[in-house]
Amino acid sequence: MLLITGGAGFIGANFVLDWLAGCSEPVLNVDKLSYAGNLDTLRSLHNDPRHVFVHADINDRETLNRLFAQHRPRAVLHFAAETHVDRSIHRPADFVQTNVVGTFTLLEVARAYWNQLTGENKAQFRFVHISTDEVYGALAPDAPPFTENTAYAPNSPYSASKAASDHCVRAYRHTYGLPALTIHCSNNYGSYQFPEKMIPLMLTRALAGKPLPVYGDGLHIRDWLYVGDHCAALRAVLARGRPGETYNIGGCNEKTNLDVVQTLCTALNRIKPKPRGHYADQITFVADRPGHDRRYAINASKIEHELGWRPAETFETGLEKTVRWYLDHPDWVNRIISGDYRNWVEFNYTQRLASGAFFSEIATGASAKRHRASR
């Protein structure tokens, strides 16, 4: 059996659904159901004996000890984390608690469990740690994409906490021999993503006729990875990755945020046209995120050469699937946006939107003209 942490969140749940669609090996899913955890996503697995869900915090060592002893997993895939950069700016302590202390606790329990395994069970055990490209910091416009050897330079409380967890994983491999692997992936998008992250936030707001809040001048660059491609990469790492190694996983899709929002609006306009006007008319430039990293990009040649993985989706095909998924699942979205989510939106955006006209003027000035000219 696989032990998955954070399997009720966006990537973890996509992985669980994908895994169980393709094989019979059961999954033990340990998730504390934070605001980002959503059992609705796993509804199709209700009563499926291959999916064992346990509502628990990765900081709870006793429960973890019991779960390892009882279910005897052959591998751990560690997704659980606090993940939203904007929230990390407002409440960094939660990020240290889960991403650093929680990962440390999980490592301790996994190490004790692995130590008492013998023979093939011990040799085949794997601990796969899901990290991020953000630990490498911001790239200059002309710098080559991040490789596995790029130095760490985290800039937000989120990326600092992920970097700290990566260092713990590395140390447990180096000092104790735990067969751990770390992956660094770029911005994921696709079905079941919590609408605090850029693509589902813009999508749901576009459909609701609300302003689309682009931070700063909108020329920050991310490398977009379709979540289904990420799941395929994780399967390859679990099956064939070498313990002690790190693997970068990216979508080969570097885009400015403005490009992403405009492409999204164009797709929406085609699939679900507005009665009047264009969704792009809702774009509003707002106050930037403090410490906002300008560019991330991944060099994924190591995983391609060693493990034979490369992304199957282009940004256009992945986005089309994503838009159609959100249009086809209004109930999943509505259950989220009618709850506590509203408080976050009010907290993060009210002030930003109030200053929107001011920032739109700046952003549609020199920098946006530059952007248009470069297209």
State which residue, 162 or 352, has the beta carbon closest to ligand NAD.
162
* Whole-number Cα distances in Å, 199 to 9, 260, 262: 16, 8, 11
What residues from 43 to 82 belong to the interface with ligand DAU (CB under 6 A)? none
Q: Identity (one letter) of the amino acid at 345?
A: V
2 binds ligand DAU (CB under 6 A): no
Closest separation in Å from C-beta 82 to ligand NAD? 6
Q: Any idea which residue has 């395994």 for tokens?
A: 117
Closest separation in Å from C-beta 121 to ligand NAD? 25
Per DSSP, 295 falls in state B
Asked whether 174 and 302 are in contact (CB, 8 A), the reply is no
Candidates 79, 80, 82; CA nearest to 95 is: 82
Closest separation in Å from C-beta 336 to ligand DAU? 15
Q: Any idea which residue has 């605001």 for tokens?
A: 35
How many whole angstroms separate alpha carbon 138 and alpha carbon 155?
8
How many whole angstroms separate alpha carbon 300 and alpha carbon 40?
33
34 binds, among ligand DAU, ligand NAD, none (CB under 5 to 8 A by kind): ligand NAD
Asked whether 316 and 224 are in contact (CB, 8 A), the reply is no
Tell me how many residues contact ligand DAU (CB under 6 A): 19
H helical segments located in the chain:
10-22, 61-71, 85-90, 92-95, 103-115, 119-124, 157-176, 198-207, 227-240, 257-271, 301-307, 315-328, 330-337, 341-354, 356-362, 368-374
Contact window for ligand DAU (CB under 6 A) among 94-102, 193-201, 236-244, 363-371:
193-201
**How many other C-beta atoms can be found within 10 angstroms of the C-beta atom of residue 222?**
24
Closest separation in Å from C-beta 323 to ligand NAD? 17
Candidates 231, 226, 108, 243; CA nearest to 173 is: 243
- Please give the positions annotated as active site: 133-134, 158
198 binds, among ligand DAU, ligand NAD, none (CB under 5 to 8 A by kind): ligand DAU
326 binds, among ligand NAD, ligand DAU, none (CB under 5 to 8 A by kind): none
Angle in degrees, CA 53, 55, 235, rounded to 5: 45
114 binds, among ligand NAD, ligand DAU, none (CB under 5 to 8 A by kind): none
Closest separation in Å from C-beta 208 to ligand NAD? 21
Q: Which residue lies nearest ligand DAU, judged by its C-beta?
A: 132
State which residue, 76 or 363, has the beta carbon closest to ligand NAD.
76
122: which 2 tokens? 């011990």
Angle in degrees, CA 279, 284, 287, rounded to 5: 155
How many whole angstroms separate alpha carbon 85 and alpha carbon 92?
9
Asked whether 157 and 92 are in contact (CB, 8 A), the reply is yes
Closest separation in Å from C-beta 5 to ligand NAD? 6
58 binds, among ligand NAD, ligand DAU, none (CB under 5 to 8 A by kind): ligand NAD
What residues from 232 to 291 belong to the interface with ligand DAU (CB under 6 A)? 257, 289
Instruction: Give the residue, chosen from 73, 145, 157, 213, that forms a contact with ligand DAU under the rule CB under 6 A.
Output: 213
Per-residue x/- track, 126-165, ligand DAU (CB under 6 A): ------xxx-------------------------------
Contact window for ligand DAU (CB under 6 A) among 5-13, 197-205, 310-318, 325-333:
197-205
**How many other C-beta atoms can be found within 10 angstroms of the C-beta atom of residue 366?**
10
Which residues would be at the binding site for ligand NAD (CB under 6 A)? 5-6, 8-12, 31-34, 36-37, 57-59, 79-83, 98, 102, 130, 132, 162, 185, 187-188, 194
Per DSSP, 150 falls in state S
Instruction: Give the residue, chosen from 180, 198, 203, 368, that forms a contact with ligand DAU under the rule CB under 6 A.
Output: 198
State which residue, 30 or 307, has the beta carbon closest to ligand NAD.
30
Summarize as ranges the residues that interact with ligand DAU (CB under 6 A). Answer: 83-85, 132-134, 186-187, 197-198, 201, 213-215, 220, 222, 257, 289, 296
